[in-house]
Amino acid sequence: MVKIPAFSGKFVSWEELETAFERYQEEIQKS
């Protein structure tokens, strides 16, 4: 199981969650 620190908080909207998730995926692909 992978822990995702960026998703431990609450998001104002689904769009915000989606944007954060896309950024998170980009970070994974870089490393």
**DSSP per-residue letters across 1-31:** ----GGGSS--SSHHHHHHHHHHHHHHHHH-
Are residues 25 and 2 in contact, defined by beta-carbon separation less than 8 angstroms? no
Q: How far apart are CA 11 and CA 28, in angstroms?
A: 21
User: 0.85 cut: is pTM over it?
Assistant: no
Q: 30: pLDDT confidence band, cut at 50, 70 and 90? A: confident
pLDDT, tens only, 1-26: 556 565 556 666 778 888 888 998 99
Domain boundaries, the chain: 1-31
Contact 6, 20 (CB under 8 A): yes
Residue with more model confidence, 27 or 14: 27
pLDDT of residue 26: 92
- Residue 23 CA to chain centroid, in angstroms? 6
Query: What is the per-residue pLDDT for 31?
Result: 77
